[in-house]
Amino acid sequence: MRSRRSISDIVAVVLLIVIAIAAAVIIYMWLSGLIGSVHTSTSATQVKLEITGASVTLLSGGNYSVTAAVYNPPDSPSTSITVGELEFTNGTMICTNTTIKSSTIPPGGSDNIHFICMPTITAPAGTPVEVVLVTTQGVQVSYTTPIS
C-alpha cells in the first residue's frame, strides 16, 4: 500500500512541473510579443506603402527582372525603397538587390520600382513568388505574382 502512494506522489510532482513549464512558455511568448510591439519605431508604423502590381521575368542569363508599381497613401509619410527581394511564397529567399535607386515617394504619390537580381535558386515560369520591398524606415511590403 505504501508503494502505491509514492507512485501517485511522483506523478503529481511530474504533473506540477509540466504545468509550470507550460505556464512559463505561455508567459514568455506573450511578453515577447508585447515587448516587440512596444519597441517598434513610430515612423515605421506610420508608413502604409502598397504594391499595386508587380511582374517578374526570367531573363535569358538566368537573372530575374522585377518591376513593381508602388503607391504611397496620402496619410503616409514620404519614403523610398532601399531593398528589393524575391522570395518563394513559403519565405525562401530567391535573390535580393540592395542597390535600388528609388526616388522619394511623397504622400499620395506612386513610383515604378525596377531591379534585377541574380538568383541562388531558380524557379520555372508560372511559379508564384513574392516581391518584397523594404523602405528607408524598415517597413516591408510584399506582392505575390507568378514568374513569366
Range of the domain at 19: 1-39
Q: At 68, is the pLDDT very low, low, confident or very high (cuts 50, 70, 90)?
A: very high
Same domain, 12 and 53: no
Q: Which residue has the higher pLDDT, 92 or 102?
A: 92
Same domain, 69 and 136: yes
Helices (H), 39-88: 42-46
Same domain, 77 and 23: no
The confidence score (pLDDT) of residue 44 equals: 47
What is the CB-side half-sphere exposure of residue 109 using CA atoms within 13 A?
11
Judge whether 72 and 105 are in contact, CB under 8 Å. yes
Same domain, 121 and 80: yes
pLDDT in tens, 12-36: 899 999 999 999 988 888 787 765 5
What is the CB-side half-sphere exposure of residue 72 using CA atoms within 13 A?
22
The count of structural domains within the chain is: 2
The confidence score (pLDDT) of residue 42 equals: 47
pLDDT in tens, 94-148: 888 888 877 888 989 999 999 998 888 888 888 899 999 988 888 889 999 999 8
Same domain, 49 and 19: no
Same domain, 20 and 92: no
The confidence score (pLDDT) of residue 34 equals: 63
